[in-house]
Amino acid sequence: MASPERIQSKGRFLAAMTSRLSLFSNAMHRSVNGLLGYEGVEVINPEVERENAEEEEQRGRWKQELISYGEAFGEQIKDLLRKKNFKEAITLIEVLADEGAMTKEMLSFIHAQVGFLLLFDLQFKEAVDHFLLSENMQPSELFPFIMRDPNRWTLLAPRKRYWGLHPPPTHLENVIDDGLAAIQRAVFLKKAGVETAVSEEFLLNPPSRADLLESAIENMIRYLQACRERDLAVSVKEGVDTLLIYLYRAVNRVEDMERLASSENNCVVEELEALLNDSGHLRTLALLYAGKGMSSKALSIWRILAMNYLSSSSHKDQFEETDLQDSSRKLSFSQETASIEAAKILEESSDQELVLQHLGWIADINQVLAVQILISEKRTNLLSPDEVIAAIDPKKVEILQRYLQWLIEDQDSDDSQFHTAYALLLARSALATYEVELSTQDSVVGMPENEMKVSELGRTSIFASPVRERFQTFLQSSDLYDAEEVLDMIEESELWLEKAILYRRLGQETLVLQILALKLENLEAAEQYCSEIGRPDAYMQLLEMYLDPKDGREPMIKAAVRLLHNHGEMLDPLQVLQKFSPDTPLQVASDTILRILRARHHHHRQGQIVHNLSRALDIDASLARLEQRARHVQINDESICDSCHARLGTKLFAMYPDDAIVCYKCFRRQGESTSVSGRDFKKEILVNPGWLVTR
């Protein structure tokens, strides 16, 4: 038990405290009464709410105080803040600002002072609101509250001298611990009947340490986010962004952390490496590396996340969508995300060694991304084709095909090795596809329709068109591949159209016609090929194939009749009749043969007419020539040149068809086709009507 002396001493202490509080209350009462007695107090609107009425009344009192005390408002504000009468102090500040009695610098200073007092009073939202109103306050003043010493950021905090109303800066956890201790003391004093300056809300419902810490961090984040828009020194910008990552990590705001890391920022990666590594936020670290140009480190992290997903599933920065019916989709989603981010880096990288180093694992996840990396036009220097081809996994045939296609079609490569390699790859894929189709046709017999659709959807490719279509198009468009080498690969297969294109390239007309007419039975293509050859013997050869297809097949009479109908003028009727078998019924082709005979007779008679007309024109031209040569001209001493007007005398002269006479010198100058009158006899031929024209 306590001694009587100690109890008596404690009683005297409490009595003294009560007396002092009573005196303070009386003094405040007299001060308020004095303020109420001033003249010139503003009229209060009785219809406003009670709180607004009190605020208007307070503003009126502070205006009268301003008139009465002049420049003494600084001490008055300081006294109000010391007593934690924040609302009255703020009202006074607003009145002074409205009246123009306070400079912007002073207003900013007081807002910062109020903010620090509210911060140590655990009112973090209100504190940050005042920090945001302080234009001159630097965000570096809050750095000591965020990260514990020693660190590089607290050294940036300026040594500003405030009114000394708040403790020196310390870590937020220390601020909260001290504030909670003060609340506990206030609760004890309240039970003893002693009033304190602690908020009544805190006394009735004491907050938890975790809630206060979360509120403090969230409001610090709010302030630093606003400061990012300000024009700050480079070092302060680095501190703001770096500490934002630090605070995001503290409250597990991973999306905001990654958004900041992937955007333009001033983070100091070296200060965050250990922190993010230890907490497992590797995605954020990879984004920071990529943003700072540390491509190798970023790619290494993306590779780790993609390859070791299951072992790293406890990391806090992974947000995967899980399919309840197929849990493997979670793995695929995470790997896809990692490969996409890695591809963004590699598409712009000209470091060939780095690109080829990470190409393999990306191709294992997504072949389309691997192709985009190889054919990207974002890099300044293109990759070496030989090195790329050597680095591509031979099992990734479509990647190699797409890369060679890009080299040939987009880069206009005329290297025959690339053309031949591309053709061989297409041939190999076409053969494999044909075998798969055959086996699929055998296996789907009797299979339900819905299962057939599912099996078709399961086939994926980076190409939109089928491989045989691409193979045929390339064989027809390129002249630089080795046709014999490609033909050797597919010669024993059933790829007839591809073989026809290659035989045509090699000039094997008979084999081409056999494939088109007999194997593919593409009559139109066979006739078109004969038209390209342009010789009658090609049509006759095609007719022979129709009439004698061999291998025990029946004659293709309809095809032969079609050929005679479309191109009968190119065939000799006698040879056609000789090719028909004696057993062929005449009525099958009688109409066509009759038409051919009539056409041949018509062409023969028409040819005779043309021949005779041509002969008559030739005779007519000969007669006109003789008439011109039989013309005579008489020259005397008075004859002159129609061009230079010199006397001809015994000089040589020439006469044009229009009877113009010139000396030989002028004839040489003007030429034999242009007369003195300017008439060009090559363009305007002078023809004297002959006997044919006259008749």
How does pLDDT run across 73-131, given as a tens digit for each residue? Answer: 677 788 788 777 778 888 888 788 777 777 888 888 888 888 998 999 898 999 999 99
pLDDT digits (tens, 9 = 90+) for 559-613: 888 888 888 778 777 777 777 777 666 666 666 667 767 777 777 788 889 889 8
Q: Is the pLDDT of residue 515 over 60?
A: yes
pLDDT band for 459, please (50, 70, 90 cuts).
very low
| Residues above pLDDT 70, as percent of the chain | 78
CB 131 within 8 A of CB 137: yes
Residue length of the chain: 695
- Stretch 13-17: mean pLDDT: 39
User: Which of the pair, 313 or 397, is modelled with greater confidence?
Assistant: 397
CB 209 within 8 A of CB 131: no
Separation between Cα atoms, residue 306 and residue 316, nearest integer Å: 15
User: Which of the pair, 32 or 418, is modelled with greater confidence?
Assistant: 418
The residues near 480 (Cβ < 8 Å, ≥ 6 apart) are: 414, 415, 416, 419, 420
User: Strand, coil or helix: what is 692?
Assistant: helix
Q: Is the pLDDT of residue 695 over 90?
A: no
The residues near 112 (Cβ < 8 Å, ≥ 6 apart) are: 130, 131, 134, 136, 137, 141, 160, 162
Q: Give residue 621's pLDDT.
A: 82
User: Which of the pair, 628 or 174, is modelled with greater confidence?
Assistant: 174
CB 118 within 8 A of CB 130: yes
Q: Give residue 586's pLDDT.
A: 62
- Containing 653, the helix (H) or strand (E) segment is strand 653-655
In sequence order, what are the beta bridge partners of 653? 663
pLDDT digits (tens, 9 = 90+) for 266-304: 999 999 999 999 988 999 999 999 999 999 999 999 999
Q: Residue 683: exposed, middle, or buried by beta-carbon count in 10 A (0-12, 13-18, 19+)? A: exposed
Q: Is the pLDDT of residue 34 over 70?
A: no
Q: Give residue 449's pLDDT.
A: 53
Burial pattern 444-478, b for ≥16 Cβ within 10 A else e, equals eeeeeeeeeeeeeeeeeebeeeebbebbbebbeeb
In sequence order, what are the beta bridge partners of 640? 647
pLDDT digits (tens, 9 = 90+) for 362-388: 999 899 999 999 999 999 999 999 999
Q: Give residue 585's pLDDT.
A: 64
Q: Is the pLDDT of residue 64 over 80?
A: no
pLDDT band for 683, please (50, 70, 90 cuts).
confident
What is the average pLDDT score of the chain? Answer: 79
Q: Is the pLDDT of residue 321 over 80?
A: no
Q: Is the pLDDT of residue 630 over 70?
A: yes
